[in-house]
Chains A and B, each alone.
Chain A
Amino acid sequence: MKLTGAQALLECLKREGVDTIFGYPGGYVIPLYDCLYDFPAIKHILVRHEQGAAHAADGYARATGKVGVCLATSGPGATNLITGIATAYMDSIPMVAITGQAKTTALGKDAFQEADTTGITMPITKHNFLIKKVADLPEIVAKAFHIARTGRPGPVLIDVPQDILNGHLDYKPVEKVEIPSYKPNTEGHPMQIRKAARAIASAKRPVLYIGGGVISSGASREVVELSERTHILVTTTLMGKGAIPESHPHSLGMLGMHGTAYANYAVAHADLLIAVGARFDDRVTGKLDAFAQKAKVIHIDIDPTEVGKTVHVDIPIVGDCKSVLTDLLKKVEPKVASEWNEQIMKWKNEYPLCYKKSTDGLNPQYIIEQINKVTDCGAIIATGVGQHQMWSSQYINCTFPRQFISSGGLGTMGFGLPAGIGAKLGCPDKDVFVIEGDGSIQMNIQELMTAVAYGIPVKIVILNNKYLGMVRQWQELFWKRRYSATNIEAQPDFVKLAEAYGAVGMRIEREDQVEEALKKAMEINNLPVVMDFHILREENVYPMIPAGQSVEDMMGHK
């Protein structure tokens, strides 16, 4: 079949099962955009800033498990994707980013809107490609999707010069992708798995520490089964939230800096830590010398680079979480709840996750509890980054995997709204709540226009304290309340702003208005709703283990 490069590219996307792409046109990608008319099966969502396209593709991928696709032109289009690509890279999200480029003959000559996109994105992609010959296009696209979705998933970028899009090739679909130097190992070593089973059998104080790898490999059921069979309690990372229903009696919620006191106590006193698809991030471990000191460590991860990176591992098992846990379950004998479980439950009762209800203002935690209530814990939650993100991670009660969508590793402010749009398009049958801060939302507020234009009914909750709250909290606690550059009282009227974009706006200042507003938002199904909640200005996220410190230094727990 004779096709142009642009046609072949869209044909390849169609073959990969792509139904939605998020993008923004520009000079060098006009040929590709022109071709979109001929591919009605691929829905193109026109964002208002390329960063929004990358985050939306990311949110789509997190919510569905499929590869998210974003598209931008060369130069500034490509550089605007960078934050979104880096966000996906840090959280191991499968994504393919396609960028336009100057003609192959102009490369390196400072052509208009030329940037060395593959050079710039080298450290923030799992792999990237610059297409130099149009005949290579189908194979490169197939490889890109293969690399993005297999092994430890991640973003892959394809840089496509304009003459490649306009060139012609004899198109043949790629049947099989063969990359000799890329063969991720998915099956765990049987001897290591036996060792792990023995360690579990003999452990007195075991804890399961579950990360995003469990979500991406779809191993939630195996985690729950392992926990139920052995009565080992489960703590999750921010990325692992939803791996076990948080209402499950075995769930200890999140661990780490803003994790529950009882999860952190459990890890601190454990004699066996079973890490699955988690990477011992500094927000989890705090001071490394003091982290899980008494514990033997089993580390299950598909990426050998993670094993022993920051913490000494006694039993490494390199493999896909689902595959390894399935094998492990064949070897693990049932165990009964022990004194250890009782001890953790005692901590749970003694130091529960709680907040002091204020009489002179609206508690953000209360609003989040009401979101659980009105959605019956069934909505997808996308967050920005800051205090609101941590309150959400603490108080949103997740009931299923891929429910909680948040930028963990990179901590990208402005992630929530575009990611929520992507998630809603990926899961149209689910309600999507975007929880944002007044600072974070303004970093990608332009995507409100995208949501209005396509009638995407995301419910946007702004926890508005007129501060860059997380930085302010650190300034309060560690910098003598010198609130340098964190007061953002100068801000738009979010209700009027929402209305200016054509969305629905509401302002909520009292507790008795909260539930009603959320319910009203749930009833609007053709437009985004912006709920501007004016919350207590100086409410803090607690408990907190200050950066680089240990569980001993935990603040604000009861």
Chain B
Amino acid sequence: MQHTMTVLVENRPGVLARVSGLFARRGFNIESLAVSSTDDPSISRMTIVVAGEDNVLEQITKQLRKLVDVAKVLDYQDIPIVQRELAMIKVNAEATKRAEIMQIADIFRAKIIDISEKTFTVEVTGSNEKVNAITNMLSPYGIIELVRTGRIAMMRGEKTP
């Protein structure tokens, strides 16, 4: 089962190693990870996507809470959230194909943020599935480079972690 969780931590060196170390110890591969400071510069927010058995992840969640540098852990199982990923896709775009690619980008509400004689760089944001979908659509043209951020997530409505 895939879990998306938010971890609020003290913004200081070594914290990421402590957090990721807990997953590594139990043989979990972190599928995606996004970290940045928040409106409070002393606090960093991590969004972690990981797949694994629910009971083991519950244990890991508790162990995360136990880390001295970790302030809050929230596993969004059964909690409605909005979530986004961002990708930049550099794709072959010869003159004859440009219109088609722009049309695809349009459908996905993606933006072309860089252009060269032979390439477009497309920026897309959205759910994991949406990013996968546009990647699939663009791959026939030849994807030269692709970079994706980890997922970021927030609870719907007024609630905060």
Contacts and interface: CB of A to CB of B under 8 A. Distances in A.
Interface of A: 118-119, 122-123, 126-127, 130, 147, 179-182, 303-305, 309
Given A119-B17, A181-B10, A305-B59, A147 B66 contact: no
Contacts of A127: 67-69
A23 to B, nearest CB: 25
B118 interface: no
B5 to A, nearest CB: 16
26 contacts: A119-B17, A122-B14, A122-B17, A122-B18, A122-B21, A123-B21, A123-B25, A126-B68, A127-B68, A127-B69, A130-B14, A147-B68, A179-B68, A180-B10, A180-B71, A181-B10, A181-B68, A181-B69, A181-B70, A181-B71, A303-B66, A305-B59, A305-B62, A305-B63, A305-B65, A309-B59
Contacts of B62: 304-305
Nearest to A152: B66
A305 B63 CA distance: 6
Contacts of A147: 68
A142 to B, nearest CB: 14
B77 to A, nearest CB: 16
Interface in B64-100: 65-71
Interface of B: 9-10, 13-14, 17-18, 21, 25, 59, 62-63, 65-71
The interface residues of chain A, by DSSP majority, are classed as: mixed
B9 A181 contact: yes
A123 B13 CA distance: 16
A305 B18 contact: no
9 closest residue pairs by CB, A with B = A181-B71, A127-B68, A305-B62, A182-B68, A305-B63, A305-B66, A304-B62, A181-B10, A181-B69
Contacts of A179: 68
Contacts of A305: 59, 62-63, 65-66
Nearest to B17: A122
Contacts of B21: 122-123
A429 to B, nearest CB: 36
B1 to A, nearest CB: 18
A147 B21 CA distance: 20
B62 to A, nearest CB: 4
A180 B12 CA distance: 14
Nearest to B69: A181
A130 B14 CA distance: 10
A165 B66 CA distance: 31
Contacts of A119: 17
B29 to A, nearest CB: 18
Contacts of A130: 13-14
A304 B14 CA distance: 24
B92 to A, nearest CB: 41
Nearest to B55: A308
